[in-house]
Structure 1
Amino acid sequence: MAKKKATVFVCQNCGYESPRYLGKCPSCGAWNQMVEERLPEKSDSRNRITMSGKASKAEAITDITIEKEERVLTKLGEFNRVLGGGVVPGSLVLIGGDPGIGKSTLLLQVSAQLNQGGGKVLYVSGEESASQIKMRAERLELRGTDFYIYAETELTAIQDTIEQLKPDFVIIDSIQTMHHSDIDSAAGSVSQVRESTASLMKIAKMNDIAIFIVGHVTKEGAIAGPRMLEHMVDTVLYFEGERHHTFRILRAVKNRFGSTNEIGVFEMRNGGLEEVLNPSQLFLEERLSGATGSAIVAAVEGTRPILVEIQSLITPTVFGNARRTASGLDHSRVSLIMAVLEKRAGLLLQNQDAYLKAAGGVRLDEPAIDLSIAISIASSYKEKQTKATDCFIGEIGLTGEIRRVSKIEQRVNEAAKLGFKRLIIPKNNMDGWTFPKNIQIIGCTTLSEAIKTAFS
């Protein structure tokens, strides 16, 4: 009888397993990422039992009772909105972001607020000591009674502490530092991250404990570890922004209990993160009057409409090939719109360098921003400024038509609330709703018509 192989080679990029070493991973195509890891000899089944001693069992669907989902609210309304209305007991939430962006600060503030609301909180840190977290809490003026700090990386010890304290909320900072004793590999490896997350998921589901997991990101911006990590959790949040700017954006890319692509806007201050209640005004407050290459769009992120300034700088190229640079915008979308402008609107852009950005550090990726990108490019190219009270909404097709967009009424109402006087939108969006007072709505069919209207 053949002896069972006790080791397996695991790709550290995607988690693919192979019985033998491979130079190139057949799943993700990465080279030299296969690492030999020992298979676990036994499995710990303690976390399949609740803290009250009740084991999981199969139940008939007719015998299962549905309790009303009660969410726990924090004092950060933006955080509640991104989660879909508050923290759901028994949920597993993954928060990723660049180093130094403020993930630990956000979760420390949320932990203190959950504790002040009557919940018992366990903050597990594998990167900082308890005294370092205490120093940060004092700087943020955070207090609590049933707020416990635990500096530990061994998952077995963390499980024992959870069974002893019976907390309502657990913070794991970070999952890449956790070590499962049954897995013979280094902390942060694919096997360790996968098994640690699976154990935490069982604890959360069996005991109705809301667990927040901090995840590191790779240089490409994706959460480090196997892709299945994002499939295992209930909610995936990305904390975005630039370390040299004060504004941060919390974005939901997966949410089993609410809307995806929802965003919350925060500002980093000396006293911690503070929510921004009116992000549209924030993104527009530094706009220069009379500047060319600027256009305003009413974009929708999740359920919230926000007004953002699209800026363009078109200059003659000094090299053989024209450059195309985009910040906060999809590079392929910008190239497509420039091609349509050259073909359908008669703008000679092939010998022009183009630099575009969404002001304020926000990232936009929806079809409704196409028209504002085109108007800002045309404004910089023609050296003609757009009116400060104009807003542009619409998707651009390859034949130069302006196509309808969704949630037009919410977009227009947000623009009207901030004092915009004229909106250029797709003509097919003109019917079926009531226009706000004191605002002019102009429907356009083609890109050429929209450009002519914008500069008239």
Structure 2
Amino acid sequence: MKYLCSTCGHRSAKWMGFCPQCGSRKALVEDQTTRRATPPEVVPVASAAALAADRSPVGIGEIDRVLGGGVVPGAVLLLGGEPGVGKSTLLLQAAGSFAETGCSVLIATAEESSHQVGLRAKRLGVDSSRVSLVADSDIDAILAAADTMRPDLLIVDSIQAVSASGVGSVPGSVSQVRECAARVIQYAKARATAAVL
């Protein structure tokens, strides 16, 4: 059994009254992450390269250039920047452009309502039946919605605002962000869905 600090994410083999990493009192909780019962499949590099999927262009030249020609199914990208610089707006424009190529997009908005995102989409001219919204801050609910829809691209806006059950800390904490990101990565790889956090 291992323990996880709900403040800083430090892992410990034994429970202590405080975290040796950050000093938080009574912050060590039982690590709820599950271990895989069977080992992962091992494949030769040559056959893995043969399985490589084609990139899907986003449709915005600069983004496609940064991504080496487009998004790869199963890849997870992290978009970072200072608050207010336009990350959500850029992602919405990219979603609309990507949808115009015939791909489906699910935007999970944890900080804004669907109505707010819909108004911004209208202002930006993003009018596609292939872009869907889910307004929720629970990562399991978001991934369940994605599992139902099976989008080509999943956008989680923003990873700091979502939370995972079983992690005893507030959204935005190191342990919550780590766990939520891990769940999105696992989902993306298993479903060959590109994701942006």
Tell me the residue number matched to 1:203. Answer: 187
Deviations 1:269-318 (A, max 9, x none): xxxxxxxxxxxxxxxxxxxxxxxxxxxxxxxxxxxxxxxxxxxxxxxxxx
Tell me the residue number matched to 2:5. Answer: 9
For residues 119 and 71 of structure 1, do their structure 2 counterparts lie closer, same or farther at Cα, with a shift above 3 Å needed?
Answer: same
Equivalent residue in structure 2 for 1:170, among 147, 154, 173: 154
The question of whether the paired residues in 2 share the 8 Å contact of 1:10 and 1:35 is answered with no
For residues 141 and 37 of structure 1, do their structure 2 counterparts lie closer, same or farther at Cα, with a shift above 3 Å needed?
Answer: farther
The question of whether the paired residues in 1 share the 8 Å contact of 2:95 and 2:105 is answered with yes
Equivalent residue in structure 2 for 1:61, among 44, 47, 50: 44
Matches of residues 209-224 of structure 1 in structure 2 within 5 Å? 209-213=193-197
Gapped regions of structure 1 (runs ≥ 5): 49-54, 214-456
Q: Would you tell me which structure has more strand in proportion to its own residues?
A: 1
| C-alpha separation in 1, matches of 2:131 and 2:39 | 29
**Greater displacement, 117-126 / 191-200:** 191-200
Letter in 2 for 1:61: P
Equivalent residue in structure 2 for 1:71, among 31, 48, 55: 55
Matches of residues 218-257 of structure 1 in structure 2 within 5 Å? none
Identical counterparts, % of pairs: 33
For residues 60 and 97 of structure 1, do their structure 2 counterparts lie closer, same or farther at Cα, with a shift above 3 Å needed?
Answer: closer
The question of whether the paired residues in 1 share the 8 Å contact of 2:6 and 2:168 is answered with no
Matches of residues 361-380 of structure 1 in structure 2 within 5 Å? none
For residues 123 and 59 of structure 1, do their structure 2 counterparts lie closer, same or farther at Cα, with a shift above 3 Å needed?
Answer: same
Per-residue deviation, 1:120: 0.8
Per-residue deviation, 1:191: 1.4
| C-alpha separation in 1, matches of 2:134 and 2:182 | 20
For residues 210 and 41 of structure 1, do their structure 2 counterparts lie closer, same or farther at Cα, with a shift above 3 Å needed?
Answer: closer
Helix, strand or coil at the partner of 1:198: helix
| C-alpha separation in 1, matches of 2:165 and 2:30 | 12
Matches of residues 302-317 of structure 1 in structure 2 within 5 Å? none
For residues 34 and 75 of structure 1, do their structure 2 counterparts lie closer, same or farther at Cα, with a shift above 3 Å needed?
Answer: farther
Tell me the residue number matched to 1:39. Answer: 30
The question of whether the paired residues in 2 share the 8 Å contact of 1:124 and 1:170 is answered with yes
Tell me the residue number matched to 1:126. Answer: 110
Per-residue deviation, 1:86: 1.5
| C-alpha separation in 1, matches of 2:104 and 2:153 | 6
TM-score by length of 2: 0.85
| C-alpha separation in 1, matches of 2:128 and 2:60 | 17
| C-alpha separation in 2, matches of 1:128 and 1:193 | 18
| C-alpha separation in 2, matches of 1:83 and 1:36 | 39
Helix, strand or coil at the partner of 2:106: strand
| C-alpha separation in 2, matches of 1:203 and 1:127 | 21
> Runs of 4 or more off by more than 3 Å in structure 1?
7-11, 32-35, 40-45, 62-65
Matches of residues 6-155 of structure 1 in structure 2 within 5 Å? 8-10=4-6, 12=8, 15-18=9-12, 19-20=15-16, 21-22=18-19, 25=21, 36-41=27-32, 43=34, 58-61=41-44, 64=47, 66-155=50-139
Of the two, which has the highest radius of gyration? 1
Gapped regions of structure 2 (runs ≥ 5): none
Per-residue deviation, 1:64: 3.8
Aligned residues: 193
| C-alpha separation in 1, matches of 2:103 and 2:80 | 24
The question of whether the paired residues in 1 share the 8 Å contact of 2:56 and 2:70 is answered with yes
Letter in 2 for 1:72: S
Calculate the aligned-residue CA RMSD, in Å: 2.8
